[in-house]
């Protein structure tokens, strides 16, 4: 594509080589005070142009073009400056020492004053056979002063810029799609580097559109046209500087010197951005772009060094980040030195930064894709761990409940054995009766232990089974029985309102685990708050093709805003781990194809599940 653009310009040059004789000369008005009349009197002081790219200068430049038609035919040509962001341009055309036309051009000319609103400053000339003309062009700009005016056929000019338009809108349209995708990933994964990348890409693309002159062509206000060029480029660089800190999760003191240099330049650029936003108070501040561009180049080099360090340290995504920085830093150095007038003007110079930004956006996007892939893998491993934790949590809670239910019968068995031993030692006359009675108690308590163990074992066996049609009432009753001893200790009343013939297709263990978490949480709250008449109410009903389960207690509710924070990992209102409700929402409910909402209700809390 670069070769194609170059061929276009070369074609324009060769096309005019034999038709027109052009002499170029220049005069520099260092005080920016001379009028056209004064310039005309100083024709002899114009000097041949030795350097088309004059860098950033405050001087007003006058260019004199002497053009001779060497043919026997009428010629219509278009002259344009490929530096789209020259702010003020006045053109005066003379034939036979008489001014025939004048044009006002430039990116800071009011739209009502400028003679054309095209993004490139241009004007047309018409020469009769063997006719000549003299053109004086007055230029003043806050950016790079380009004094070369190209001559082309009008049709070729239109074709050239239509091609550029197609390239710009295609490439940057793709970048905007990437920006939208990155924003979506931010809202899904909540990683700050997605939003930082999106903002960097947005401001860099906006800057490129301003640099290419589109915003003026679209008729946008001159203030926006100016700050989008100068301020937006600095804002893009600031976000670029923030990116590695977020993307690699750099810790305090990590890469200390490089990090410090980056932060110093960022602070400097923040002040520069503020100055640009208030440039209307003193337009000379815009000339600081000379130093702003140099600081950007230094920052690019520092970021390149940082990317090398992260690559050596094998940080996730560092290879793509290194490639991104190599691409952009190379383009930025070439572009910035071109702005300073170090390199001559070429089409590649004006599009170098755009190419660099596109290349970096591409590699940074790959870095984000790779990071997302790694996050996905980590997330899948975490899900496996959560799955295992769910099983262990259920098993652990089961062991706790077994302990509570076995504690009394085990003590009874121990007491019965002691009773027999004492009666035997003292030769109690009712020894046989005591043995028979205590053996019966031991037998009954042992049977209770067995029944309890079998009951829990049946639940635990379901952990890895496939979903089945489960009777909801029976399952709730079974879970309530598991916590029966704990309920008796605090006089807990559990009321269940459910159609006894209601079935749901689900994994029994997931449903049981969910109920166990809720009931154990309520029991804990009842104990902590010493609730005198603890109550849990469970209501199951069908509504519009769904099954709704409401579970409420009278444990005093939750003093938290928003109340949904109770589902966050590691949150706990008591001394527990805080994993229960997080596990319920993030793991169990997706498995049960259910949703949950929670509110403080009457004297407690109310959970509403929709299956």
Assigned domain for 122 exists: yes
Find out whether 121 and 80 touch, Cβ atoms under 8 Å. Answer: yes
Ranking 123-132, 265-274, 323-332, 479-488 by mean pLDDT, the lowest is 479-488
How far is the C-alpha of 97 from the C-alpha of 351, rounded, in Å?
A: 39
Residue 10 pLDDT > 60: no
How far is the C-alpha of 385 from the C-alpha of 569, rounded, in Å?
A: 14
Task: Report the Cα 60 to chain-centroid distance in Å.
Answer: 44
User: Smallest Cα–Cα separation from 64: which of 32, 29, 33?
Assistant: 29
Binning pLDDT at 50, 70 and 90, where does residue 385 land?
low
Assigned domain for 157 exists: no
Residues 183 and 143 in one domain: no
Across the strands, what pairs with 609? 549, 596
- Find the mean pLDDT for residues 221-237: 89
Percent of the chain with pLDDT over 70: 84
Residue 13 pLDDT > 60: no
Across the strands, what pairs with 596? 609
pLDDT: is 577 or 351 the higher one?
351
Q: What distance separates the 2 farthest-apart alpha carbons in the chain?
A: 149
Assigned domain for 401 exists: no
Binning pLDDT at 50, 70 and 90, where does residue 546 land?
confident
From 152, 184, 199, give the residue that closes a domain. Answer: 152
pLDDT at residue 92, rounded to an integer: 96
Looking from the CA of 582 toward its CB, the CA atoms found within 13 Å total 15
pLDDT: is 73 or 520 the higher one?
73
Binning pLDDT at 50, 70 and 90, where does residue 39 land?
very high
Find out whether 120 and 84 touch, Cβ atoms under 8 Å. Answer: yes
- Scan for tokens 């550029």, then name that residue: 164
Residues 246 and 268 in one domain: yes
pLDDT at residue 279, rounded to an integer: 85
Binning pLDDT at 50, 70 and 90, where does residue 282 land?
confident
pLDDT: is 271 or 486 the higher one?
271
Q: Classify the C-alpha dihedral 229-234-239-240 as positive or negative.
A: positive
Q: How many CB atoms lie within 10 A of CB 244?
A: 26
pLDDT at residue 3, rounded to an integer: 45
Find out whether 477 and 497 touch, Cβ atoms under 8 Å. Answer: no
DSSP secondary structure, 371-423, as one string:
HHHHHHHHHHHHHHHHHHHHHHHHHHHHHHHHHHHHHHHHHHHHHHHHHHHHH
* 401-446 per-position pLDDT tens digit: 566 557 656 776 887 788 888 888 777 777 788 888 778 878 866 8
- Residue 549, domain extent: 465-611
Q: Give the count of domains, the chain.
A: 3
* 52-62 per-position pLDDT tens digit: 888 888 899 99
pLDDT at residue 12, rounded to an integer: 47
How far is the C-alpha of 352 from the C-alpha of 354, rounded, in Å?
A: 5
Binning pLDDT at 50, 70 and 90, where does residue 135 land?
very high
User: Smallest Cα–Cα separation from 91: which of 47, 56, 135?
Assistant: 135
Residues 208 and 273 in one domain: yes
Residues 219 and 148 in one domain: no
Assigned domain for 29 exists: yes
Residue 573 pLDDT > 80: no
Residues 345 and 209 in one domain: yes
pLDDT at residue 126, rounded to an integer: 93
Residue 2 pLDDT > 50: no
- Find the mean pLDDT for residues 260-287: 88
How far is the C-alpha of 102 from the C-alpha of 91, rounded, in Å?
A: 5
Find out whether 603 and 556 touch, Cβ atoms under 8 Å. Answer: yes
Q: Is 94 helix (H, G, I), strand (E, B) or coil?
A: strand
pLDDT: is 567 or 160 the higher one?
160
Residue 118 pLDDT > 70: yes
Binning pLDDT at 50, 70 and 90, where does residue 18 land?
low
* 55-110 per-position pLDDT tens digit: 888 899 999 999 999 999 999 999 999 888 888 999 999 999 899 999 999 988 89
How far is the C-alpha of 472 from the C-alpha of 592, rounded, in Å?
A: 13
Ranking 62-71, 189-198, 347-356, 583-592 by mean pLDDT, the lowest is 347-356
Percent of the chain with pLDDT over 90: 22
Residues 203 and 294 in one domain: yes
User: What letter would DSSP give residue 286?
Assistant: G
CA-to-CA separations, 372 to 303, 379, 433, 568, in angstroms, rounded: 22, 10, 75, 22
pLDDT: is 371 or 6 the higher one?
371
From 378, 408, 432, give the residue that closes a domain. Answer: 378
Find out whether 475 and 511 touch, Cβ atoms under 8 Å. Answer: yes
Q: Classify the C-alpha dihedral 437-438-442-448 as positive or negative.
A: positive
Residues 225 and 145 in one domain: no
Residue 574 pLDDT > 60: no
Across the strands, what pairs with 88? 140
Residues 210 and 260 in one domain: yes
Binning pLDDT at 50, 70 and 90, where does residue 11 land?
very low
Separation of first and last alpha carbons in the chain? 57
Phi, psi at 342, each rounded to 5°: -70, -45
């Amino acid at each position: 594509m670069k070769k194609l653009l170059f061929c276009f310009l070369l074609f324009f040059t060769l096309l005019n080589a034999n038709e027109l004789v052009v002499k170029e000369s220049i005069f520099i008005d260092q005080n920016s005070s001379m009028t056209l009349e004064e310039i005309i009197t100083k024709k002899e002081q114009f000097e041949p142009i030795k350097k088309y790219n004059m860098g950033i200068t405050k001087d007003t430049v006058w260019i004199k073009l002497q053009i001779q038609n060497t043919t026997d035919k009428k010629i219509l040509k278009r002259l344009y400056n490929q530096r789209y962001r020259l702010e003020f341009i006045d053109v005066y055309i003379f034939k036979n020492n008489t001014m025939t036309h004048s044009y006002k051009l430039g990116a800071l000319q009011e739209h009502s004053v400028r003679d054309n609103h095209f993004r490139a400053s241009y004007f047309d000339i018409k020469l009769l056979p063997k006719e000549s003309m003299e053109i004086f062009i007055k230029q003043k700009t806050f950016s790079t002063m380009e004094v070369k005016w190209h001559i082309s056929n009008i049709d070729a000019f239109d074709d050239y810029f239509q091609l550029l338009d197609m390239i710009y809108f295609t490439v940057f349209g793709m970048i905007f799609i990437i920006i939208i995708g990155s924003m979506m990933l931010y809202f899904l994964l909540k990683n700050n580097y997605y939003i930082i990348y999106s903002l960097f890409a947005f401001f860099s693309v906006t800057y490129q559109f301003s640099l290419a002159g589109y915003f003026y062509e679209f008729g946008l206000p001159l203030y926006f046209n100016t700050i989008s060029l100068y301020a937006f480029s600095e804002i893009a660089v600031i976000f670029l500087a923030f990116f590695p800190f977020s993307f690699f999760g750099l810790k305090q003191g990590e890469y200390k010197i490089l990090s410090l240099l980056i932060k110093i330049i960022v602070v400097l650029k923040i002040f520069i951005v503020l100055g640009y936003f208030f440039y209307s108070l003193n337009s000379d501040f815009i000339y600081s772009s000379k130093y702003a561009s140099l600081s950007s180049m230094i920052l690019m080099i520092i970021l390149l060094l940082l990317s090398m360090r992260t690559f050596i340290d094998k940080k996730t995504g560092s290879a793509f980040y290194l490639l991104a920085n190599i691409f952009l830093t190379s383009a930025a150095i070439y572009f910035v030195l071109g702005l300073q007038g170090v390199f001559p003007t070429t089409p590649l110079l004006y599009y170098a930064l755009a190419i660099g930004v596109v290349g970096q956006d591409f590699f940074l996007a790959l870095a984000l894709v790779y990071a997302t892939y790694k996050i996905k893998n980590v997330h899948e491993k975490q899900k496996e761990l959560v799955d295992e934790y769910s099983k262990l949590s259920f098993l652990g809670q089961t062991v706790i409940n077994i302990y509570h239910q076995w504690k009394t019968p085990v003590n009874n068995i121990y007491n019965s054995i002691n009773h027999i031993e004492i009666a035997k030692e003292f030769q109690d006359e009712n020894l046989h009766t005591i043995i028979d009675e205590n053996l019966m108690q031991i037998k009954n308590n042992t049977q209770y232990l067995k029944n309890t163990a079998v009951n829990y074992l049946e639940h635990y066996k379901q952990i890895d089974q496939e979903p089945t049609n489960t009777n909801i009432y029976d399952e709730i009753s079974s879970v309530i029985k598991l916590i029966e001893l704990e309920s008796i200790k605090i006089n807990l009343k559990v009321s269940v309102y459910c159609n006894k013939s209601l079935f749901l297709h689900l994994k029994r263990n997931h449903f049981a685990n969910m109920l166990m978490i809720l009931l154990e949480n309520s029991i804990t709250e009842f104990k902590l708050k010493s609730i005198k008449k603890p109550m849990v109410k469970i209501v199951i009903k069908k509504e519009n093709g769904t099954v709704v389960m409401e579970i409420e207690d009278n444990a005093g509710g939750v003093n938290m805003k928003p109340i949904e924070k109770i589902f966050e990992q590691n949150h706990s209102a008591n001394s527990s781990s805080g994993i229960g409700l997080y596990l319920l929402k993030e793991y169990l409910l997706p498995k049960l194809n259910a949703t949950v909402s929670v509110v403080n209700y009457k004297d407690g809390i109310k959970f509403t599940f929709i299956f």
